[in-house]
Amino acid sequence: MATLKKLGRSFYRRKNVVEIARDLIGKILVTGFDEILTSARIVETEAYAGVIDRASHAHGGRRTKRTEIMYAKGGHAYIYLCYGVHHLFNIVTNGEDVPHAVLVRAAEPLEGIEQMMERAGRKSSNKTDISLTSGPGNLSRALGISTHHSGIDLLGEEIFIASDGLRVADSDIISTPRIGVEYAGEDAMLRYRFILRGNPYISAKKIFKI
DNA sequence: CGACCGATCGTCT
DNA sequence: GACGATCGGTCGA
């Protein structure tokens, strides 16, 4: 595997969260805790544009104990529990008091696949199953990410994003509306979701046809 | 294959 | 006390 270069603060502090969501396609999400290292290449993201975005937890400047970390400077993890079951991993972006975030929805496993399957309760004899890291809940489970990690700095060693130098052509990144945000009115139509063209790990493929 | 439904619980009203 | 930025199983066509 090529040398990994951890993304620095400047990547996350940029002001355009949609651009950051697009730039994250092809980057590598790494977790290293419990003496287990797992990594996966990000193939699907969604941008949440803060106070003006009706789909965002920070819409209208809403600020609660749970969402407080969204108001931190870029490069922190915001993880919350969805439907009481799924731990969804978000990357906080922009500067302090600007609650932008990118939801990572799917990735392609690279390192530690055995450990990922163990975390997901799969039999290691099974051939690699797409659903292992397809969809935000599955991805977090495979990488061992839970709400307990919410607030950690992505410049540390527990959870971080890195580049292995892979360049993804603009033409290989497709934008679509976000998944499961019908409640957001006009904002539900924004093409803030990005997927790596043709990658099998992408979730909610129905939307592909749009 | 598509539609539907139950699981499950922290968070916010 | 209601409700999710979901998932996986089941059921019917």
Nucleotide nearest to A184 (CA to C1'): C5
State which protein residues have CB closer than 7 Å to strand B. Answer: A 62, 64-67, 80-81, 83-85, 147, 206
Q: How far is the CA of A5 from the C1' of B1 (A)?
A: 43
Determine contact, residues A39/A111, Cβ cutoff 8 Å. yes
pLDDT at A209: 42
Residue with smallest Cα–C1' gap to B11: A66
Nucleotide nearest to A57 (CA to C1'): C5
CA A62 and chain centroid, separation: 22
Which positions in strand B are less than 7 Å from the protein's CB atoms? Answer: 2, 7-13
Q: How far is the CA of A133 from the C1' of C11 (A)?
A: 27
Backbone angles phi, psi at A41, to 5 degrees: -85, 125
Sequence-distant (6+) residues with CB within 8 A of A79 are: A87, A88, A89, A90, A140, A145, A146, A147, A149, A150
Q: What SS3 string covers A78-111?
A: EEEEECCCEEEEEEEECCCCCCEEEEEEEEEEEE
Q: Per DSSP, what are the bridge partners of residue A39?
A: A30, A111
- pLDDT digit string, tens, across residues A69-100: 999 999 999 999 999 999 999 999 999 999 99
Determine contact, residues A106/A202, Cβ cutoff 8 Å. yes
CATH topology of domain A5-209: 3-methyladenine DNA Glycosylase; Chain A (3.10.300)
Q: Per DSSP, what are the bridge partners of residue A31?
A: A38, A159
- pLDDT digit string, tens, across residues A179-188: 988 888 889 9
Q: How far is the CA of A196 from the C1' of B4 (A)?
A: 30
pTM of the model: 0.93
- pLDDT digit string, tens, across residues A12-34: 999 999 999 999 999 999 999 98
State which protein residues have CB closer than 7 Å to strand C. Answer: A 46, 48, 55-57, 81-86, 88, 90, 101, 103, 131, 134-139, 178-181, 183, 203-204
Q: Where are the domains of chain A?
A: 5-209
